[in-house]
Chains A and B, each alone.
Chain A
């Protein structure tokens, strides 16, 4: 390539390092601040903690219920994610591999779900979930999470199944496998790269989801993590336990950070291929 002058290499690095510091420093500040007392937080915002206040974390976990919110979120996200993947894969397989009346119509019907902002459905959805007696229930939220993840996941996996070779499938049928065996024993394993991409994409979406639980869950003991965090922030205005809130934020962010660094390649690929196909 062409020669990049020394000066421009230095200025490039300066900009990039500057942005890296801007991205990283708020998080580092949050982590070390979560070990400080409220006094220290207010009077020396930049200084590191004088003594590590582990008690902040204990208060966040029990008194502020971060532990409960984390558990609630897992109870909802794990089944919702697994069911989304299996239900979408089944539908996508049929849409990609079988010729039948209404196939195109169904495909575009699922596709159209990506066009609408969730805010348009909010009021009728709230009313519907209420009529089904599913407000403030985990199973209600699970079903809603699955339903709203279907359009994109089906769209993506249909494309994925179409790229898979048909020979293996055909030879399995020749060997006398029934359609269910073909799907579960042959097709699903072959589709695992696509399933992993969609797994990551939907996991992040469900884990970080805010509007849907805000509308469908109002019982404090059933809050999702993001909802619980926001609730804690609003409570600070009269309870004034800032150090516990810093600790809560650290409890939530550090695992995300570790998972992200471990799987960063797959996560970036999962999100960007997801985004670019959409």
Chain B
């Protein structure tokens, strides 16, 4: 029986293990080393330089600029997206008419490719062919902003697109949690004369901790990434006003062949994601309520 067991375990695990070790573990492990090297192009080999890359990063304005854009996303995307998603989820789960239509519609942008969304919205924002500017002109605003072409508005235009894309996804996550809250709790609250507002803050929201925590982790990952949407809509411009760590490190690696420096930026990116995820788990850790 024993030998029998390994006759299935080994061949069943082997393909997954080989592919995973080669294409996932090995590159990540190598990245831990590459971040501490100078490596200019595939033909050369990496040379260990200790903390040089990180020292250089401290004085690199482009790095701080990209990081601060990520921070803006990290602050505003959770507030706007999750707030709005929670609000809509609460409204839809209250037996409104057409609720199924809303659920299906709001979720759709989530299944679209981020590149398609980026292009669609570059059209919408476009100063001449776009509908947005001509709408503003129609209501009497003579010179509407040129959205993606202006450093003051480009970042916020991208925030709006991200909210547009992901609000429905988070709404569905919150709705899944709301459906598992027993009806009797709401009935009891209604008997006690609670209105919509107090029902939401006293019952619904406290029982959604698990979903809120997952959503916070996801939106953190989204706010740190932002690569696809930025790369198609603005490529980090104008004037680096929408540059994020992901676009900056891509530029260093694949436009200038600065492999070592790019990987050290990726390392910072990785550490931020891990720290924030752990923080979210710590802060939101509390007794799960059983019912």
- Residues on A lying within 8 angstroms of B by beta carbon are 1-2, 4, 8-9, 12-13, 15-16, 19-20, 22-24, 26-27, 29-30, 33, 41-42, 45-46, 87-88, 90-91, 93-95, 98, 100, 106, 109-110, 113, 115-117, 119-128, 130, 143-144, 146-148, 150-151, 154, 179-180, 183, 204, 207-208, 210-211, 215, 225-227, 229-230, 233, 242, 245-246, 249, 252-253, 256-257, 260-261, 264, 267-268, 271-272, 275-276, 278
Contacts and interface: CB of A to CB of B under 8 A. Distances in A.
A226 B113 contact: yes
Given A110-B16, A154-B16, A252-B116, A123 B253 contact: yes
Interface in B191-209: 194-196, 199
A252 B15 CA distance: 33
Interface in B110-145: 110-116, 118-124, 128-131, 134-135
A208 B16 contact: no
Interface in B1-43: 4-9, 12-13, 15-17, 19-20, 22-28, 30-31, 34, 39, 42
B253 A122 contact: yes
Interface string B42-60: 1000000000000000000
Contact of B19 (A121, A147, A230): A147
B104 A264 contact: yes
Contacts of B23: 125, 128, 143-144, 147-148
B102 to A, nearest CB: 5
A167 to B, nearest CB: 19
Contact of A100 (B5, B134, B221, B231): B5
Listed from nearest, the 6 A-B pairs whose CB atoms lie closest are: A147-B23, A124-B27, A208-B113, A91-B16, A2-B190, A124-B30
Given A12-B96, A106-B13, A210-B228, A42 B129 contact: yes
B266 interface: yes
B186 A46 contact: no
B23 to A, nearest CB: 4
B97 interface: yes
Interface of A (DSSP majority class): helix
Interface residues of B, number: 103
B259 interface: yes
Contacts of B134: 45-46
Nearest to B113: A208
A147 B22 contact: yes
A120 B8 contact: no
Q: Describe B's contact surface by its main secondary structure.
A: helix
B91 A15 contact: yes
A184 B77 CA distance: 45
A235 B128 CA distance: 18
Interface stretch (B64-72, B148-156, B164-172): B164-172
Q: Which of A100, A210, A249 has the most CB of B within 10 A?
A: A210
A172 to B, nearest CB: 14
B243 to A, nearest CB: 14
Contacts of B111: 204, 256, 260, 267, 271
A225 B4 CA distance: 46
A270 to B, nearest CB: 10
Contacts of B28: 116, 120-121, 124
Given A116-B28, A127-B42, A275-B173, A90 B16 contact: yes
Contacts of A95: 13
A278 B20 CA distance: 18
Contacts of B107: 264, 268
A221 B134 CA distance: 38
Contacts of B123: 30, 33, 246
A1 B186 contact: yes
B113 A225 contact: yes
A210 B114 contact: yes
Given A87-B19, A121-B31, A123-B31, A23 B113 contact: no
B147 interface: no
Residue of A33, A121, A253 most packed against chain B (CB within 10 A): A121
Given A264-B104, A264-B107, 20 more contacts: A15-B91, A23-B105, A23-B109, A98-B5, A115-B274, A119-B245, A119-B266, A121-B28, A123-B259, A124-B263, A125-B27, A150-B20, A151-B24, A179-B7, A179-B8, A208-B113, A253-B112, A268-B104, A271-B169, A278-B214
Nearest to A154: B16
B281 interface: no
Nearest to A95: B13
Nearest to A180: B8
A110 B218 contact: no
Contacts of A16: 88, 91-92, 96, 98, 102
A94 B187 CA distance: 47
8 contacts: A2-B196, A12-B96, A106-B17, A123-B39, A123-B266, A147-B19, A264-B104, A278-B214
